Each structure stands twice: as structure tokens, then as C-alpha cells.
């Protein structure tokens, strides 16, 4: 009897998918610059240098309303960091082509995000495949000047 009551009580306390989305989007909007109109969440999936990578992005209004999303499989890369950089570059390119302005891009790889948020001299990574990643980061940064 006690186990059934416990299960019922804990199942009722689980936030719904919609409530989880609202909580996450509220947390994100609290840290966005005031001029932001959209935020784009970007991620990549990498298993090995012999397998295709998966990339995806989701664009939201600053209020958290989903606007668009996309995903794709791409040719293999040498490292997970190259895959993350490629995902970010393609998301930035797509937002540029679709004329979305005042977009903040969010990713889960701290090294890529730090490199993107520093000046050119310091925005370099040091790892296997660094040349390709650094070139991709510079490509991403070039879009800042055009938007």
C-alpha cells in the first residue's frame, strides 16, 4: 500500500514536457542580452572519425516560442570539436540566409563557445584538429561583421 501511494505522489510531481520547456526557456531568457530577438540552440553528435556526424539546431523567439528546427547528417570529421564547430557554422549560415538578426547562439561545448566569445588573437583552440576548428571559428566570426 505505501509503495503505491509513493508512486502516485511522485508521478503527480513530475513536471510536464511543456512545464520543463517553460522553465528552460525562462532560464535562458534571463541571461540573454536585452537586444536579443532569438536564440538558437546548436549541437552535434560525433562517434568516430569513420562515421557521419549528426548536427541540429532549434531557433526560439526570446519568449521561448519555437520558430524552426533542423538536423542533418554530414561527412565524418576528425574530432568531436570539429563536429561542434561545423554544427555552429551551419546554424549561423542558415540564420544569415533566412535573415534572422539579433540571434544568440547557444552550444554545449565550452571550448567552442569560449573561442567564439574572445577576440581573434585569443580565440584559438589547442587540440587534435585545431587548424580545422580554428578556421571554422574564424568563418563563424566573419558572420558577426555582416549581420
pLDDT number for residue 24: 56
Task: State the average pLDDT over residues 51-70.
Answer: 95
pLDDT number for residue 131: 81
The CATH number of whichever domain residue 99 belongs to comes to 3.30.420.10
pLDDT beyond 80 at 10: no
Q: Is residue 89 part of a domain?
A: yes
What separation in angstroms does the CA of 36 have from each of 29, 105, 123?
9, 10, 23
What does R_g of the chain's alpha carbons equal in angstroms? 19
Output the nine-digit C-alpha cell for 124: 584559438
Question: pLDDT tens digits, residue range 84-124?
Answer: 999 999 999 999 999 999 999 999 999 999 888 886 444 45
**What is the domain count for the chain?**
1
pTM value?
Answer: 0.75
Q: How many CB atoms lie within 10 A of CB 105?
A: 20
**Angstrom distance (rounded) from CA 127 to CA 139:** 18
Q: Is residue 104 part of a domain?
A: yes
**Angstrom distance (rounded) from CA 54 to CA 15:** 29
pLDDT beyond 60 at 31: yes
Q: Is residue 1 part of a domain?
A: no
Q: Is residue 74 part of a domain?
A: yes
The helix/strand/coil state of 57 is strand
To the nearest whole number, what is the mean pLDDT of the chain?
A: 82
pLDDT number for residue 121: 46
Residue 46's domain comprises: 33-146
Of residues 83 and 8, the one with the higher pLDDT is 83
Q: Is residue 5 part of a domain?
A: no
Amino acid at each position: 500500500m505505501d509503495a503505491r501511494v509513493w508512486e502516485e505522489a511522485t508521478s503527480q510531481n513530475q513536471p510536464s514536457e511543456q512545464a520543463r520547456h517553460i522553465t528552460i526557456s525562462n532560464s535562458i531568457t534571463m541571461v540573454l542580452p536585452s537586444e536579443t530577438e532569438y536564440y538558437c540552440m546548436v549541437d552535434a553528435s560525433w562517434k568516430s572519425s569513420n562515421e557521419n556526424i549528426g548536427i541540429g539546431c532549434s531557433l526560439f523567439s526570446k519568449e521561448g516560442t519555437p520558430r524552426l528546427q533542423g538536423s542533418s547528417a554530414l561527412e565524418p570529421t576528425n574530432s568531436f570539436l570539429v563536429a561542434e564547430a561545423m554544427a555552429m557554422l551551419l546554424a549561423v549560415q542558415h540564420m544569415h540566409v533566412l535573415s534572422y538578426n539579433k540571434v544568440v547562439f547557444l552550444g554545449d561545448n565550452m571550448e567552442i563557445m569560449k573561442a567564439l566569445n574572445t577576440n581573434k588573437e585569443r580565440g584559438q583552440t589547442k587540440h587534435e584538429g585545431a587548424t580545422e576548428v580554428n578556421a571554422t571559428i574564424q568563418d563563424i566570426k566573419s558572420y558577426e561583421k555582416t549581420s
